[in-house]
Amino acid sequence: MEARAELPIGVFDSGIGGLTVAHAINQKLPAESLIYFGDTAHLPYGDKSPELIIRYALNITRYLLSRHCKMIVIACNTASAHAFKAVEKFVGDKALVVNVIDPAAEAIAQSFEKGKVGIIGTRGTVQSGIYPRKIRKLNKQLQVSSLATPLLAPMIEEGFFNNKISRTIVNSYLEKRSLTEIKGLILACTHYPLIRREIEEYYKGKVAIYDSAEVVAGYVHKLLNDKHLLSQNKHPDLEFYVSDMTESFQESVKFFFPKKIHLQKLQFSGGES
């Protein structure tokens, strides 16, 4: 079991958003080796069909399994909503599989006895209805209101965050009637932690913000600990791969992991099949 504990954690997303999850895992579990794949050639996932997202997710999962990952983290809400079951079935008992939806849904469902909570995410995530279903299953007293915020992920991918442009767009979404009188807000896209400060400034501490990256990192720690798979590696490896080399991804990797960067372009044999 000790040898298996030293195996890497695989993390994937459509682009830079999942780096927030990888960074949070690295901060929480610095002894873990990470292999990150950003499917930048196909971003954003939010406007893709479920069938296409599943195809992309299985191609990436196949690669991560070939690298003997002990855990695969689907660090994308849209892929978690549409591809989690397919990935879990494909992986079987070869590795643990974690999505970013269940931990966040559990966290907010347990935080409030009743009242209204909000979800912001891509069209794909919101249209799936997965957050309201999971939250209400855990806490029937909560009213869940979801809002698609399709401009946010592309905005962040282009480097527009923590500035006047991003603040204007963020505020225009948060002002929508569907998000009035909420007690908590799930940032249901792994890009959104990069604009968390702007969201917190808008609410001025009156709304609890649930950052999926931090929640997932805590969940990963607990799961690996429960399975006796926590690494004790003194020299963990950090590897980063993309399907298309983009300037925004390279800059984002440097932002989150300034000390050690290993970024390569990776294309799967067989294309998108």
Helical spans, DSSP H, in 113-227: 123-128, 130-138, 152-157, 164-174, 196-203, 212-226
Q: Hey, where are the domains in the chain?
A: 2-99+215-265, 102-212
pLDDT values of the chain reduced to their tens digit, one per residue, 273 residues: 456 999 999 999 998 889 999 999 999 999 999 999 999 999 888 889 999 999 999 999 999 999 999 999 999 999 999 999 999 999 999 999 999 999 999 999 999 999 999 999 989 889 999 999 999 999 999 999 999 999 998 898 888 888 899 999 999 999 999 999 999 999 999 989 989 999 999 999 999 999 989 999 999 999 999 999 999 999 999 999 999 998 888 888 988 998 767 789 998 754 443
The token duo for 53 is 């997202």
Please tell me what DSSP assigns to residue 158: T
The one-letter code for the residue type at 196 is R
CA angle 217, 218, 220 (to 5 degrees): 65
Of 176, 175, 200, 172, the C-alpha closest to 187 is 200
Q: Does residue 69 have an active-site annotation?
A: no
119, 187, 189, 220: the active-site residue: 189
CATH topology of domain 2-99+215-265: Rossmann fold (3.40.50)
**pTM (predicted TM-score):** 0.90
Of 74, 57, 98, 76, the C-alpha closest to 17 is 76
User: Does 102-212 carry CATH code 3.40.50.1860?
Assistant: yes
21, 76, 87, 117: the active-site residue: 76
| 2-99+215-265 and 102-212 share one fold | yes
